Structure 1
């Protein structure tokens, strides 16, 4: 038998082992589901809140109504349960927010994107309060840059129309 033939046999055996693992898993899981009384009757799952948790029970993904029950919200959390990103939709608006924290808990920064009927904006904030905001309101662009003490470093347009 040549090396090529041996490699072909090894490949076929590995493929069969993968298929058998799937079949054995299915044969174990299906009776457990049947014993638990699980039967797929509906095409729609209706819940007020859905959480995906890790092995310790920390919710990492949450799908729920927003706080005012005006729309939906998807929240992503890190392994410590800290909120790191969320997408929220309401009547005529949608926003995406991302939050990051440095390893020493001193480097928080937040990025937000908001879209509405007459306004859209991109905002960035540092932990100490420096900010950058760029947006459009009623077809007029505006850019603002502030230092950590809230003093304007750059604002455009300078003059209102």
Structure 2
């Protein structure tokens, strides 16, 4: 009796040996897209600058494929612009009107402080003058005391 032996052939088709036409091509494109998307998402969480070369190495998709497929390049461009905005945040400028209001308030504050300074200087000048007058009075009084003490000492001698 003859037996029929069935042989099952298992073929490991790596990514490089998959067909690039027909249904396999669509699956391959989806696979590339998923790989690139995963890689860009992972790289966005980091702090390094993203480049096409870096995404190519990390995802295992050739650089030529990126430049031939707009959807892959769009993913990389989006990741690059995201990282640029993350690493170099744009400063929001205040509207011109708000800046002018702040400038006006600061000018008023400066004027009030200058007026206060002027008044303090005048008061300081008056106090300095009064101090000088008081010092003169002290000197005069000391002289009078000295003279009186001399007069008393002369009277005591006589």
Q: Same fold (TM over 0.5)?
A: no
Give the TM-score of the pair, scaled to structure 2.
Answer: 0.21
Give the TM-score of the pair, scaled to structure 1.
Answer: 0.20
Larger gyration radius, structure 1 or structure 2: 2
Q: Which has the higher contact order (CA 8 A, sep 6+)?
A: 2
Q: Normalized per residue, which structure has more helix? A: 2
Q: Normalized per residue, which structure has more strand? A: 1
